[in-house]
Amino acid sequence: MALTATEPAASTGSFGPATALSCRECGQRVELGPTFACEFCFGPLEVAYDFTPGAVTRESIARGPKNIWRYAGLLPVPADVADLPNMNPGLTPLVRADRLAAELGLRSLHVKDDSANPTHSFKDRVVAMAVEAARTFGFRTLSCSSTGNLAGAVGAAAARAGFESCVFIPAGLEEGKVVMAAVYGGKVVAIDGNYDDVNRFCSELIGDPAGEDWGFVNVNLRPYYGEGSKTLAYEIAEQLGWRLPEQIIIPIASGSQLTKIDKGFQELIALGLVEDRPYRIFGAQATGCSPVARAWEAGHDVIQPVKPDTIAKSLAIGNPADGPYVLDICRRTGGSVVHVGDDAIVDSIKLLARTEGVFAETAGGVTTGVLRALVADGVLDPEASTVVLNTGDGLKTLNAVADSGVTATIKPSLDAFKGAGLV
Ligand SMILES: Cc1ncc(COP(=O)(O)O)c(C=O)c1O
Ligand SMILES: [Zn+2]
Closest atom of ligand 1 relative to the 361 alpha carbon: 1
Summarize the confidence of residues 357-364 as an average pLDDT: 98
State whether the beta carbon of 199 lies less than 6 angstroms from ligand 1.
no
Determine the CATH number of domain 97-120+229-401.
3.40.50.1100
pLDDT tens-digit map of 196-218 = 999 999 999 999 999 989 999 99
Does 219 score more than 90 pLDDT? yes
Q: Write down the pLDDT at residue 2.
A: 41
Summarize the confidence of residues 218-241 as an average pLDDT: 98
Q: Write down the pLDDT at residue 48.
A: 97
Contact status, residue 285 vs residue 339, Cβ threshold 8 Å: yes
Q: Which fold has domain 18-87+123-225?
A: Rossmann fold (3.40.50)
In angstroms, what is the span from residue 251 Cα to ligand 1's centroid?
Answer: 7
Q: Write down the pLDDT at residue 203.
A: 93
Domains 18-87+123-225 and 97-120+229-401 share a fold: yes
Domain ranges of the chain: 18-87+123-225, 97-120+229-401
Mutate which of 169, 194, 218, 257 for ligand 1 pocket (most atoms within 8 A of beta carbon): 257
Summarize the confidence of residues 11-20 as an average pLDDT: 88
State whether the beta carbon of 390 lies less than 6 angstroms from ligand 1.
no
pLDDT tens-digit map of 76-89 = 999 999 999 999 99
Which residue, among 145, 121, 111, has the nearest Cα to 228 in the 3D structure? 121
Q: Could you give the percent of the chain with pLDDT greater than 90?
A: 95
Q: Write down the pLDDT at residue 260.
A: 98
Mutate which of 147, 154, 225 for ligand 1 pocket (most atoms within 8 A of beta carbon): 147
State whether the beta carbon of 239 lies less than 6 angstroms from ligand 1.
no
Which residues, 6 or more positions from 68, have their beta carbon under 8 angstroms from its beta carbon?
75, 88, 89, 90, 91, 125, 128, 228, 231, 235
Binned at pLDDT 50, 70 and 90, residue 7 comes out as confident
Which residues, 6 or more positions from 227, have their beta carbon under 8 angstroms from its beta carbon?
47, 75, 76, 126, 129, 260
Q: Write down the pLDDT at residue 275.
A: 98
Query: Ligand 2 is a single-atom ion; what residues have CB below 5 A from it?
Result: 23, 25-26, 28, 38, 40-41, 43
Nearest alpha carbon, ligand 1 atom 6: 253
Nearest alpha carbon, ligand 1 atom 14: 314
- The rounded mean pLDDT for the chain is 96
What CA–CA distance (Å, rounded) separates 394 from 366?
Answer: 12
Does 169 score more than 60 pLDDT? yes
pLDDT tens-digit map of 136-161 = 999 999 999 999 999 999 999 999 99
Q: Write down the pLDDT at residue 379.
A: 98
Q: Write down the pLDDT at residue 212.
A: 86
Classified as helix, coil or strand, 104 is helix
Does 10 score more than 60 pLDDT? yes
Q: Write down the pLDDT at residue 3.
A: 40
State whether the beta carbon of 121 lies less than 6 angstroms from ligand 1.
yes
Does 404 score more than 50 pLDDT? yes
pLDDT tens-digit map of 262-293 = 999 999 999 999 999 999 999 999 999 999 99
Q: Write down the pLDDT at residue 6.
A: 61
Nearest alpha carbon, ligand 1 atom 16: 314
Classified as helix, coil or strand, 420 is coil
State whether the beta carbon of 252 lies less than 6 angstroms from ligand 1.
yes
Summarize the confidence of residues 230-251 as an average pLDDT: 98
State whether the beta carbon of 251 lies less than 6 angstroms from ligand 1.
yes
State whether the beta carbon of 145 lies less than 6 angstroms from ligand 1.
no
Q: Write down the pLDDT at residue 110.
A: 98
In angstroms, what is the span from residue 203 Cα to ligand 2's centroid?
Answer: 19
